[in-house]
Amino acid sequence: MMISAHSLCKQFQSDGRVIRAVDEVSFSVRPGEVYGLLGPNGAGKTTTMRMILGLIKPDSGHAEIDGFRSDRDPDEIKRRVGFVSASAGVYQWLSAREILTFFADVYGLAPEEIEPRISALGELLGISPFLDQRCATLSTGQRQRVNLARALVHDPPLMIMDEPTLGLDVVGSQVVFDYISLLKQQGKAVILCTHQLEQAQRVCDRFGLLFRSRLIHEGTLDELRTQTGQADLVEMFIELIKEPDAASQPATSPSGKP
Amino acid sequence: MSDEQPTSENESTSVARGNSTPRRRGRLSQIWRLATKELKETLRDRRTIVTLVAMPLIVYPLLSIAFRTFLLNNLGSATAEKITYNFAVKTDLAPDEFQVVLGQWSELLKLADRQQPGVNRPEQAAPPDSSQPAAKGEAQPPAAGSQKESALEATSLAGQTAEPVEVPLGEHKWGLIEAPDTNFNDLLASGQVNAVLELKTSVSRQRQFSEVVIHVNEKSALSRRAARWLQAQYDQINRVVLQAQVRRSGGDSRLAITSSEVRASPGGNSQVTNQFTAIIPLVLVLMTITGAVYPAIDLTAGERERGTLETLVAAPIPRLRILIAKLIAVLSVAVLTASLNVIGMITTIWAFRLDTLLIGESGLTLGMMSKVFGLLILFAAFFSALLLVVTSFARSFKEAQAYLIPIILLSLGPGLMALSPDLKLAGPMAACPLLNILLLARDVLQDNVQLLPAAVAIFSTILYGLLAISLAASIFGTDNILYGSGGSWKELFVPPLQPAERATPNLALFCLLLLFPVNFVLIGLLGRLEADISWRLLYTSAFTTFAFCLIPLFIARYQRVRLLPGFGLNWPPTPFLLAAAILGLSLWPLVMSLISGWHELINLVSGSDAGTAWRERIVAFSREQAEQFRAASPWLILLAFSLTPAFCEEFFFRGLLQRALLTKRSAWQAILFSALAFGAFHTLSGSVAAFDRLIPTTVMGLVLGWLAFKADSIWPGVVLHMLHNAIVGFLAYFQPQLSRLPGFPGENDPLPLWWTGIALAVAAIGIWLLSRTPRFAAQKTSPTT
């Protein structure tokens, strides 16, 4: 079981200008591996993730999971992916349990599987106490945990996490990163996009550095150190942004955050 | 047209989730569960509840107060004027004899009034079955002079007594009916006459009326009042005569006592309609719209704003299914609002006793209200779909509201139009969204429904609803809406970076929706142009070219759709052209049989000869039209009815539309949809015969669609269409010459059976040829990546 992106390309038009958001990005992730997709704002991380999931149609290239291609069987891809993003909201007027039941149903879980699954996730993510509370009354951290549970409800082999800790405090982020480690142990593949570089350095097995819509470095931390000559991710980033000729394309993301 | 590929729903692939595999469940049950979630979310929201409950509670009492005030003011001013009635009299008397009788009656009424002033006041005299007037009148002391002669006091419709209006008997219009076989009902129904007075003279006693009958149109308030007034006058006359006879036996026996009775005219189609009836459906429709607006915004634009749309679109469910679930939720809230409003309205109407005022003598029946409620649900479904199109387009709550305000204002126009009592549900009105449902609901309340326009109204509303929901599905959750940042209008019209082989279904549907009003306006324009027939035919050609050729061409080129593959203009192999020519020559008798069959079906369903009557009307209409067209050159007929529509309609329906649909839908779905659109366009074109064209045109659309699909080109369709239209046009044009030929049927005669037989055989050869010719691919489709 392999997750791979093949030469993903995406252009956007903005005010008559053509902007290259993602340019020939290819990488692959193995089960049990956490892949850190890192880069400065506007490098094309979010667009790449959305293309893998089929939320944005690439101009060219495709993603492949378990032999299914995103351009041919988008639903098969969606079925195998759990998706958490910073922008994902919760249904204000439903309780966490209702949201989880709804998504379990949407992803095709059998009715008798749903309750045990929700209880297990509730224990794991510490959301049991407020499972029956209306989501409008939950705190940001609690909501993000509900979202995490929502993404995991169908037990997907791949998790795509787009800044899952945005807006969370230290404890909240820690819960999320602990959980990423747990997913890794369970043999799941994780694509993680974050700006918390130190945490990323701790949980990720391999990294892809996106800069100005291109994947310019890829490898384990050691490999990156050799490639860049820098000691850790933070230094690599600073060095990257300083270099004027790192890429020739203008670096803006018109897709932005919604 | 969702972007999802339909294949994945049906596959039972196992997901690597270790312990379980996704179960394949019924689409319906999934839609139901999706809808339940949407409903839960909406109904828990207090904003929904406010519109749902508070509105009817506040609106109806206020409305009824305003309405009563308005009516009283209105009637007050109306009754201050003199009302003169038109009476028709059926009698054996000569006109001058009747004048004498009328004079005598007036004298007697003056006498009666001097004896008992106020006796003939309507509150006493009103009901025909009431025995009050004589009994009461007798008891009253005579008082002379102060009262005016034969006063009529009008009862306001709301039951209160308004100012009296005095009109002596002689001032009303009295017309004698001379033709012996005149139908009273027609006279009454047309509103020319308010009541008919039938004076029957007995044979034995020649100078006495054996029976006096007052005929009334129960549907008209004016007619009921006229009859009531006449009845009261006649009772007065009888009473005076009786007293006179008692005093001195003898006298003129013509004035002897005769019982009079009021007979209701059974004439069904009252044209004197109650102008207020249409208010009921209008208020209900407006309230239903109010109920649907909030959930529609909340479940689409609201969901995007809260960031839950992305997670929903990231789930493996087809967008159409999500949207249908949302439609069900919005519809449920709308219907719930409608129900509460219907309850509120009925309560108000009963509490304030407005029912006879709004509807007529029969009042509000349960049957009527349930029919109106059914129409309301249909309308709510259509409007909810429309709302979802607009709100799917919006990226935020605010944006959605901005889009909806014009839509709601726009729907007020037809709403107000429906209040006009002269407006009938017929022709293009039956296809005008909102207006058709309002008029149909009004007709239901007046118990005056015509089958065909009602069917057009219902069918077209369903069609618009389906069109709207498919459009909404193609917009909802697309990456443009999901992530588009700007919201500037430019974005919507930016041409794509790369040229496309074919238009997207979205673009084609947009074109279709745009062409619908354009076509309507152009047809209206053609009707208004004052030009001779040759120019008219040229205009027809120009308009057809503009609508079906130039607009689609412009839009498609702007969106960089390539001309040849986009419109299927590649030249096809000869067998297709041959098959097309065979079908073009042979299909017309079958189309005519289809139309006859349709008329027979109407006969059968209605259990009358409605279909035959309709057919006669159409034949008469066509004859008139053909007569006009004969003034023009046959070449112009060929241009306007054959060449131009054949090319232009193929260019759009089988070219742009069907080929765009084929990129996302299966062949039969694309062909069926384009054929239905083709049929609907011809049906809604507003001519008298339009409704007859639906079935044959859709069938033709299917044949043309199949032909275009197999040949991968529109040219065979152009050939078929051209030949077919040319034959049908020339048959009408040269009818006088042709009918002189031996064995040629006259214009009212059905086609000889053997003609149809031969045509069927030839058409079968064409179909056979087409089916055995392998599908042609003009070009290899370019790789999608």
Confidence of residue B302 (pLDDT cuts 50, 70, 90): confident
- pLDDT (0 to 100) of residue A195: 86
Query: Is the model's pLDDT at B210 over the cut of 80?
Result: no
Distance from CA of B37 to the nearest CA of A (A): 7
- Boundary residue ending a domain (B242, B265, B288): B265
The residue in chain B having the minimum alpha-carbon distance to the alpha carbon of residue A76 is B8
Residue at A147 is within a domain: yes
Residue B155 scores a pLDDT above 50: no
Chain A residues with CB under 8 Å of B41 CB are 91-94
- What is chain A's length? 258
| Distance of residue A220 Cα from the nearest chain B Cα, in angstroms | 27
pLDDT for position B722: 95
Q: Which residues of A touch B479 (CB under 8 A)?
A: 50, 55-57
**In this model, does residue B658 exceed pLDDT 80?**
yes
Test B7 with A92 for CB contact under 8 angstroms: no
pLDDT at B267 over 60: no
Q: Are residues B402 and B543 in the same domain?
A: no
Instruction: Name the residue of chain A whose CA is nearest to B35's CA.
Output: A102
Contact A85 B310 (CB under 8 A): yes
**Burial of residue A198 (number of CB atoms within 10 Å: 0-12, 13-18, 19+):** exposed
Domain end, chosen from A155, A175, A207, is at A155
Same domain, yes or no: A115 and A239: no
Give dist(CA B150, CA B114) in Å, integer. 10
Q: Do A76 and B33 lie within an 8 Å CB cutoff?
A: no
Q: By residue range, what is the domain housing residue A1? A: 1-80+157-258
Residues A215 and A98 in one domain: no
Which chain B residue lies closest to A88 (C-alpha atoms)? B307
Nearest chain B residue to A11 by CA: give it: B497
The number of beta carbons lying within 10 Å of the beta carbon of residue B190 is 14
Of B20, B30, B308, the CB nearest to A90: B308
Instruction: Calculate mean pLDDT across residues B471-479.
Output: 76
Residue B61 lies inside a defined structural domain of this protein: yes
Question: Which of B485, B509, B535 is the last residue in one of the domains?
Answer: B485
- Give a yes or no: residue B3 inside a domain: no
Task: For residue B776, give how far its alpha carbon lies from the nearest alpha carbon of chain A (Å).
Answer: 25
Q: What pLDDT sits at residue B148?
A: 34
Per-residue pLDDT band at A159 (split at 50, 70, 90):
very high
CA-based nearest distance B503→chain A, Å: 17
Minimal CA–CA distance to B2: which of A105, A74, A52? A74
> What confidence tens digit (pLDDT) does each residue in B528-569 have?
777 888 888 899 999 999 999 999 999 998 888 998 999 999
On whether both A142 and A170 belong to a single domain, the answer is no
Range from A61-65, B238-242, B441-445 carrying the lowest mean pLDDT: B238-242
Residue to mutate among B49, B299, B310, with most A CBs inside 10 A, is B310
Residues of chain B with Cβ-Cβ distance to A66 below 8 Å are: 16
Asked if B308 lies within 8 A of A83 by C-beta distance, the reply is no
Instruction: Determine the pLDDT at residue A175.
Output: 83
Residue B405 has a pLDDT of: 85
Residue in chain A closest to B24 (alpha carbons) equals A108
Q: Based on the domain organization, do A138 and A76 belong to the same domain?
A: no
Do A146 and A179 share a domain, yes or no?
A: no
- CA end-to-end distance (rounded Å), chain A: 32
**Residue B265 DSSP SS3:** strand
Give the residue on A whose Cα is nearest the Cα of B490.
A15
Contact A56 B7 (CB under 8 A): no
Residues B323, B345 share a domain: yes
Q: pLDDT for A164-220, tens place per residue?
A: 888 788 888 888 888 899 889 989 999 999 888 888 888 999 999 888 888 888 888
The mean predicted confidence, pLDDT, of chain B is 76
Chain B residues touching residue A106 (CB < 8 angstroms): 30, 34, 312, 315-317
Residue B709, pLDDT > 90, answer yes
Examine the domain organization and report whether A180 and A210 are in the same domain. Answer: yes
Distance separating alpha carbons of residues A60 and A63, to the nearest angstrom: 10
Closest CA relative to residue B663, chosen from B707, B699, B709? B709
Provide the pLDDT confidence category of residue B167 given band limits of 50, 70 and 90.
Answer: low
B226 and B288, same domain (yes or no)? no
Bridge partners, B642 (sequence order) = none
Q: Which residues of A touch B42 (CB under 8 A)?
A: 93
Confirm whether B237 is domain-assigned.
yes
Which pLDDT tens digit goes with each residue over B35-78? 888 888 888 887 777 777 777 777 777 777 777 666 666 554 44
Q: Mind telling me how many Å the CA of A24 is from chain B's nearest CA?
A: 13
Does residue B428 sit in the same domain as residue B560?
no
Co-location of A179 and A250 in the same domain: yes
Pair (B149, B247) in one structural domain: yes
The residue-averaged pLDDT of B159-166 equals: 39
pLDDT reported for residue B330: 93
- φ, ψ at A64 (rounded to 5°): -140, 130
Q: How many domains does chain A have?
A: 2
From A149, A161, A89, select the one nearest B304 (Cα to Cα): A89
Same domain for B456 and B320 = yes
CA–CA separation, B395 and B300 (whole Å): 9
Q: How far apart are CA B591 and CA B728, in angstroms?
A: 10
Task: Write down the pLDDT at residue B264.
Answer: 55
Closest residue on chain A to B477 (Cα) = A55
A40 plus A132 within the same structural domain: no
Q: A72 and A168: one domain?
A: yes
Residues A256, B3, B6, B11, Cα dihedral to 10°: -10
Confidence of residue B146 (pLDDT cuts 50, 70, 90): very low
- Cα distance from A149 to chain B (closest Cα, Å)? 12
Lowest pLDDT segment from B38-47, B360-369, B394-403, B521-530: B360-369
pLDDT of residue B139: 32
On whether both A49 and A15 belong to a single domain, the answer is yes
In a domain, A169, yes or no: yes
Gap between the Cα atoms of B615 and B610, Å rounded:
9
- Predicted local confidence at residue B174, as pLDDT: 81
Percent of residues in chain B assigned helix, strand, coil, to nearest 5: 65, 5, 30
CA neighbours within 13 Å on the CB side: how many for B493? Answer: 6
Mean predicted confidence (pLDDT) in A124-143:
88
C-beta of residue B296 within 8 angstroms of C-beta of residue B469: no
How many domains are contained in chain B? 3
Provide the pLDDT confidence category of residue B484 given band limits of 50, 70 and 90: low
Mean pLDDT of the residues in chain A: 85
Q: Is A85 inside a domain boundary?
A: no
pLDDT of residue B156: 32
The average pLDDT across B481-492 equals 54
State which residue of chain B sits closest to A73, comparing Cα positions.
Answer: B8
- As given in the structure block, the two tokens for residue A56 are 């944005």
Answer with the one of A155, A180, A202 that is the final residue of a domain: A155
Q: Contacts of residue B33 in chain A, CB cutoff 8 Å?
A: 102, 105
Average pLDDT over residues B87-99: 81
Tokens 């008209």 correspond to B220
Q: Shortest Cα distance from A254 to chain B (angstroms)?
A: 8
Residues B654 and B776 grouped into a single domain: yes
Q: Is residue A3 domain-resident?
A: yes
Test B316 with A76 for CB contact under 8 angstroms. Answer: yes
Of A56, A73, A83, the CB nearest to B483: A56
Write the CATH number for A256: 3.40.50.300
B148 in any annotated domain: yes
- CA-based nearest residue in chain A for residue B482: A258
Do B142 and B229 lie in a common domain? yes
Within a domain: A122: yes
The parent domain of residue B197 ranges over 81-265
Q: What average pLDDT score do residues B386-402 get?
A: 85
Query: Which tokens go with B109?
Result: 């009424």
Q: What is the reported pLDDT for B57?
A: 75
Which residues of B fall within a CB distance of 8 Å from A80?
15-16
CA angle at A181 for the pair A178 and A183, rounded to the nearest 5°: 110
Q: Which of B459, B485, B511 is the last residue of a domain?
A: B485
> Considering chain B, what percentage of its residues have pLDDT values greater than 70?
76
- Taking CA atoms, what residue in B is nearest to A60? B785
pLDDT in the model for residue B477? 72
B93 is written with which tokens?
A: 């008397």
A180 and A60, same domain (yes or no):
yes
User: Are residue B291 and residue B306 in the same domain, yes or no?
Assistant: yes
Minimal Cβ distance to A258: which of B7, B314, B483: B483
Cβ-defined contact of A75 to B4 (cutoff 8 Å): yes
Q: Residue B575 corresponds to which tokens in the numbers above? A: 């067998």
- pLDDT(B736) > 70: yes
The predicted pLDDT at position B538 comes to: 92
| pLDDT tens for each residue of A83-101 | 998 888 888 889 999 999 9
Are residues B643 and B510 both part of a single domain?
yes
Give B-chain residues touching A85 at CB under 8 angstroms. Answer: 310
Last residue of a domain, one of A118, A135, A155: A155
pLDDT of residue A169: 83
The one-letter amino acid at B478: T
Contact residues on chain B for A255, CB-CB shorter than 8 A: 483, 485
In a domain, A249, yes or no: yes
Report CB contact under 8 Å: A88, B482: no
Is residue B456 located within the same domain as residue B530?
no
Q: Does residue A151 share a domain with residue A238?
A: no
Query: Which position has the higher pLDDT, B299 or B420?
Result: B299
Contact across the interface for B40 and A98, Cβ inside 8 Å: yes
Give the gap in angstroms from C-alpha B784 to the nearest C-alpha of chain A.
Answer: 8
What are the chain B neighbours of A11 within 8 Å (beta carbons)? 497
Q: Are residues B300 and B416 in the same domain?
A: yes
